[in-house]
Chain A
């Protein structure tokens, strides 16, 4: 049980980072932490103690196996996370070119 709670703690750390930090690079890192927390949680769901990979072979009976589906899904999710992070970093670089700062409180031309 404790590993699930630690996952939620990690998720909350990421959320705190996104909401409270002023530097946009730190916000991007916070998003990464959120993604990893969710991915970790997803993998842990499929975990069995002393389980092994569910590969079907002749004259082998696997009694205790790990659920492979969450691992496949997490791979997809990691790739999506990579795309989002790459896009965000690209935007952050462009923002730095335009505003000359990474401080979110100084990047405020839109209001209302």
Chain B
């Protein structure tokens, strides 16, 4: 059974690094990279497992659910695990050189591994309270990581983020408490079973609204977005890449999807709320991004905008739209982490992130320049890169479902995205070079390697909808389309 290893490996690595990391030099680098590499291998191994068994259920401590806690591996889980662990492996590879600027590298890796344990736990758990616990592990580690530099701005951002995050967690816990009082169980499949036997009432809608507020705050949908543009740029670049790339997707979108589609099976009226929130995020994020002069702040607003696309697609709820949404989730994880790593490489060489003080870097930083070009083109949807296909699918699905105005807005925002990424490229890599920066040096090898690998994935990620690889994405979509049938799948696997 491979399921518990997704939590055991990062927790164990965090423990070992915090014990021995300070005494033995380079051990923390080695352990962290080995840990994330093994997680990546395990998550890739989970893909054929899902194809053979459809769904795998692991009983923690041998207790039979719904009495004990269970871990569930299905298509969506395996898809999210691959996304998270792929990005986290490349990010740890990057951190080896980048984090030399900070003291206490082993503490960084400890917190990083704890955050990873929390995220993998959220994805793999089959129990609602267990999800809350893992969510808090990931959140607390991320609050500390945002404040890792302990400069004034970082502390301020971290405080803001921690307060908002704790309020969100309280909303989620209140939702879980109400759901427990209504169904007297905490197992996700069992809650779904219990709810299907009860008449539809106000309770489920109220719980859904509480979850929407809680997970929406974690996802940074627009009315709840105020913390993200402060927190993501303030963190060290690898952490920005993790937070924007996979963190908000795991804690926000994945948890929201699982609860809304598989447990509560919400009505189409609530899904319409998702469409509206997605649209607002898309538009507001893009307009705020244009005006920014700080590179990372621009990327953070761009994250809000792209998350809007994903939520919009999931709100439409047709099979094609969900396919597009999940495909865009994967693409966004890849290119947004690439762009944040690029911003880190620029800061590493030039010690500034202000667009007005940069320029003409393409000659001295060729690798960063070309990978940024790839990332920017992919996110703004230039064919044949991955981002184009996912946006195309979302827009086609919106037109098919009859949301004409929304699809026009989505296309216009896509053009706006291109505009602000061109601004980023022009102000950073083209134009006249600053005299003082004539002989700057590019980032060291491992940083380059991880950027190049992410750039390659950016180019080939369009292949995920090719017939050969489509079953991987389709099996994730099927889980969400299954809706209420999730409980039969889980209980069927237990028998």
Contacts and interface: CB of A to CB of B under 8 A. Distances in A.
Interface of A: 11, 15, 18, 24, 27, 31, 34-35, 38, 41-42, 45, 67, 69-70, 73, 76-77, 80, 83-84, 87-88, 91-92, 94-95, 98-99, 107-110, 112
A109 B129 CA distance: 37
B159 A95 contact: yes
Contacts of B163: 18, 27, 31, 88
Interface residues of B, number: 37
Main secondary structure of the interface of B (DSSP, over half): helix
A30 to B, nearest CB: 9
B297 to A, nearest CB: 6
Contact of B159 (A11, A67, A88): A88
25 contacts: A11-B170, A15-B167, A27-B163, A31-B170, A34-B170, A35-B170, A42-B180, A45-B177, A67-B184, A70-B177, A73-B129, A80-B133, A84-B140, A87-B162, A88-B162, A88-B166, A91-B143, A91-B155, A91-B158, A91-B162, A94-B155, A95-B155, A98-B155, A110-B153, A110-B157
B180 A31 contact: no
B292 interface: yes
Contacts of B292: 112
A41 B174 contact: yes
A105 to B, nearest CB: 12
A83 B140 contact: yes
B173 interface: yes
Contacts of B169: 80, 84
A42 B177 contact: yes
Interface stretch (B47-55, B75-83, B144-152, B474-482): B144-152
Given A69-B186, A84-B162, 10 more contacts: A38-B173, A41-B174, A45-B180, A77-B173, A92-B159, A94-B155, A95-B155, A95-B159, A99-B152, A110-B234
Of all A-B residue pairs in the complex, the 8 with the closest CB atoms, nearest first, are A98-B152, A45-B181, A42-B177, A80-B136, A34-B170, A110-B230, A95-B155, A38-B173
